[in-house]
Structure 1
Amino acid sequence: MSSHSNSPVAELAGRVDAVGGGRGAISLRNVSQSYGSGDAAVTAVGPVDLDIPPGEFLVLVGASGCGKSTLLRLIAGFEPATQGDVEVSGGQPVPGITSGVVFQQPRLFPWKTVGGNIDLALKYARVPKGERARRRDELLTRVGLDDTADRRIWEISGGQQQRVAIARALAGQTSLLLLDEPFAALDALTRERLQEDLRTVSSDLGRTNVFVTHSADEAAFLGSRIVVLTSRPGRVALDIPSTLPRVGVGADDLRGSPEYAALRAEIGAAVKEAAAA
């Protein structure tokens, strides 16, 4: 991408705080995933090799069916890889322990209040009972849902429900957050607002994030690193870092910058090329 000295994005590019240690680091070595057996076997993804350092916001982007969600499930530990090794923080991924996961649908418990959903997550995370109210309020504030703890799930909007899902995923204080197209079902305005919130939360907390999307625009806005996958079986077609700043530039300025437009165009072209390969 070309440099523009008069752009606030260009001036702040590269100012990203490093996160030390190995918590949240992800390693995929020669990973493939197949379903079925014999002549009916289908390889969904692979082989894939990726190293994701702590604190990175990696976006997996590609056309539908390219294996993005499959890779996310492997990193979450929901299923073992057919071939290769998946490690999170130096060990095998354990569902509900090594990562928090946010799905396309919020998957909240409708019979519980907003606060009740968070409290349950804190209980499973073994947060002492006496600390849960404080942690719950902190999490709801973090995702912009102050004073909603007593509201029922059906009393809040779809965007607010997805905020609750993000707060619930953060409850365990894991070093890794996995997000599988969490904003796909939302209207454009709500989606943009939640993208902005997630970008801010990510910068504030320094967690490792892996975000799945098919949108070049979303990938350019959120990612500190973008990986484009080919059509099935999904393999790495493009792996590039983003030079866009994580802090110090407003969302509108960022989206309106020439650097953002160039990155979005590069990702979009790579997705189209990879889908046709």
Structure 2
Amino acid sequence: MSSNRTDAEIDGDAGAGGDGVPGGIELSGVTQRYGSGASEVTAVGPVDLTVPPGEFLVLVGASGCGKSTLLRLIAGFEEPTVGEVRVSGGQPKPGVTSGVVFQQPRLFPWKTVGGNIDLALKYARVPKQQRPKRRAELLDRVGLDDVERRRIWEISGGQQQRVAIARALAAETSLLLLDEPFAALDALTRERLQEDLRAVSIDSGRTNVFVTHSADEAAFLGTRIVVLTKRPGQIALDIPSDLPRTGVSAEELRGSPEYAALRAEVGAAVKAAAS
């Protein structure tokens, strides 16, 4: 997001994408290489992957296995060296076909919490008269309705990441991409935000792709879990999760034998894939 564009320029982009597309993803023979000649490195691939709309896909693996590379390809930040990436039947476009949450919140510290959301709504082409109501809905969804007027530097790291999630939800895309968004947070805050994100995904019905190196996080969040091998990243394991999404508390879920079994299976797969 560039902060140098005027309100008029942003508002003038109305109608350009981001309008409730289905959210399906297809990667066909995707390989990504960097550099050239003797210094060329294959970061990921070949990968074939189909993600139906509404799925919560978790990409998990050791550091450097290509998880974030795949996410950037799905976001449209990069184009594959070989193969094709399609989102909702077309080429992915940054800021249009998906919302993205990074490991660092990347907020504007000189603006209030509400101001950061308003800017996201502006880029999402939400008409000015509708923004106050939409802002209130987003802040309520992530549990921040009581800090709207506070500056970013006045709230905690966990609250800042909630703002980042609300900002990503501002655009009416049906795909949300999250690149290890809770990695820098303490364990308690991380668990709370996992629970919040799980609830938000159920309510919104959006497709989610979440990157992590944690088997525990993958087991808790995903309806489907894909484990990647060490570089070049390829699919080592692709399994659905049968854990209930509703009707059970987070504490009960984490304490269930089914959850323990899934976490153990994913953890073993990550270790094997990294060796």
Task: Please tell me the TM-score bracket, short chain as reference.
Answer: over 0.9
> Contact between 1:22 and 1:53, CA under 8 Å: does it hold in 2?
no
Structure 1 residue aligned with 2:248:
249
Give yes or no for the alignment of 1:183 onto 2:207: no
Distance 1:82 1:248 in 2: 44
Structure 2 residue aligned with 1:69:
68
In the superposition, the TM-score normalised over structure 1's length comes to 0.92
Q: What amino acid maps onto 1:148 in structure 2?
A: V
Distance 1:147 1:228 in 2: 39
Shift of 1:239: 0.1
* Unpaired runs of at least 5, structure 2: 1-19
Distance 2:222 2:256 in 1: 16
Distance 2:75 2:181 in 1: 15
> Contact between 1:231 and 1:274, CA under 8 Å: does it hold in 2?
yes
Shift of 1:39: 1.4
Q: What amino acid maps onto 2:171 in structure 1?
A: G
> Contact between 1:22 and 1:54, CA under 8 Å: does it hold in 2?
no
> Contact between 1:118 and 1:164, CA under 8 Å: does it hold in 2?
yes
Alignment of 1:148-187 (within 5 A): 148-187=147-186
Alignment of 1:33-112 (within 5 A): 33-112=32-111
Distance 1:128 1:255 in 2: 42
> Contact between 2:29 and 2:82, CA under 8 Å: does it hold in 1?
yes
Identity %: 82
Distance 1:194 1:22 in 2: 26
Alignment of 1:126-165 (within 5 A): 126-165=125-164
Q: Following superposition, which runs of at least 4 residues in structure 1 exceed 3 angstroms of deviation?
A: none
In the superposition, the TM-score normalised over structure 2's length comes to 0.92
User: Secondary structure of 1:110's match?
Assistant: coil
Structure 2 residue aligned with 1:265:
264
Distance 2:37 2:52 in 1: 37
Shift of 1:147: 2.2
> Contact between 2:100 and 2:177, CA under 8 Å: does it hold in 1?
yes
Q: What amino acid maps onto 1:106 in structure 2?
A: P
> Contact between 1:22 and 1:90, CA under 8 Å: does it hold in 2?
no
Structure 2 residue aligned with 1:240:
239
**CA deviation string 1:234-272 (max 9, x = no partner):** 000000000001111100000000000000000000000
What do you get for the CA RMSD once the two structures are aligned? 0.9
Distance 1:41 1:84 in 2: 18
